[in-house]
Homo-oligomer: A and B are copies of this chain.
């Protein structure tokens, strides 16, 4: 266009970015050309010239019982992104395949500069799809079952959390501490179980009191009943949902996620540093986008929110 309007490229740039430094006649010639082209002269046009949309895309999650903390992560992500000059673009997707299709569509429509994947799992096709295309992304969640450095990620150390929870119950004198988990195979669930088991092993105690559930409070309650029958005096749970059920059976229960429900019913629970996790996600992604050096991953430690002292 500089060519066609018979001006230097710098002049075109000036018209778009600092019109006050350009003579009116020149400005008009450039703007005529722009108009003829059919583009609007706008901030968005300036962004397009830089090749940056300043958008980070993330899927909005919800769970059946609403007992999740994704909204806190999303709030942190939106705030951290804004501080780095980025905005968050939302999408929904029912499963991995739908999410990949949506990401593909977003690339055509909005060209997000980067993606934030959540709820990573074994053999995650979304991470593979993005990595194959060399698209910048970070995941909140480890690349379960894949090498640690396969892509940038931020995660919370679930095992460290349940280990601390188990020590908390051990310190109160409990020796028969059970674990109410999810079906094996979920990276997150297996990790949380591993911390409990590690804490017991550290004291030479048996890690046999374990049952799996579908994650519901109803199954949490049933599992707790059975584990208590088998001699458990306290329970570490994979989530607040199952802990809520367990709490109907036995008082010394620790949940995971520190949901509003945990606060409401006085449930001791592990709290994920979600604002911090979101900030680290934005940091890893924007460092990569700006070609600044960045660490490959960040593992944060959850904290135990004690609402009631256990007694054995």
| Chain A contacts to B: CB under 8 angstroms | 1-5, 9, 12-13, 33-34, 36-40, 42-45, 47-49, 51, 53-55, 60, 62, 65-67, 69-72, 74-75, 78-79, 82, 87-92, 102, 106, 108-111, 217, 244, 259-261, 263-265
Q: Which of A39, A106, A259, A265 has the most CB of B within 10 A?
A: A39
Q: A1-B37, A37-B37 are in contact. Are A87 and B62 (CB under 8 A)?
A: no
CB A150 to nearest CB in B, in angstroms, measures: 28
Complex: A44 Cα to B46 Cα, angstroms: 12
CB pair B108–A43 under 8 Å, yes or no, is yes
Q: Nearest residue in B to A106 (C-beta to C-beta)?
A: B87
Q: Nearest residue in B to A63 (C-beta to C-beta)?
A: B260
Q: Which of A75, A87, A106 has the most CB of B within 10 A?
A: A87
CB pair B44–A110 under 8 Å, yes or no, is yes
CB A63 to nearest CB in B, in angstroms, measures: 9
How many subunits of this chain does the assembly comprise? 2
CB pair A40–B48 under 8 Å, yes or no, is yes
CB A239 to nearest CB in B, in angstroms, measures: 12
Q: Which of A40, A48, A79 has the most CB of B within 10 A?
A: A48
CB pair B3–A111 under 8 Å, yes or no, is no
Q: A90-B78, A259-B260 are in contact. Are A39 and B43 (CB under 8 A)?
A: no
> Given the complex, which residues of B lie within 8 Å of A91, measured CB to CB?
78, 82, 87
> Given the complex, which residues of B lie within 8 Å of A39, measured CB to CB?
37, 39, 45, 48-49
> Given the complex, which residues of B lie within 8 Å of A44, measured CB to CB?
44, 48, 53, 109-111
> Given the complex, which residues of B lie within 8 Å of A71, measured CB to CB?
60, 62, 66, 70-71, 74
The 8 Å CB contact of A90, one of B54, B70, B90, is B90
> Given the complex, which residues of B lie within 8 Å of A42, measured CB to CB?
48, 111
A-B contact pairs, 24 of them (CB 8 A): A3-B36, A12-B37, A13-B38, A37-B37, A39-B48, A39-B49, A40-B48, A40-B49, A44-B48, A54-B110, A55-B110, A60-B71, A62-B72, A62-B75, A65-B263, A66-B260, A78-B91, A82-B91, A82-B92, A89-B90, A217-B264, A244-B264, A260-B261, A264-B264
CB pair A36–B4 under 8 Å, yes or no, is yes
The 8 Å CB contact of A4, one of B4, B9, B78, B102, is B4
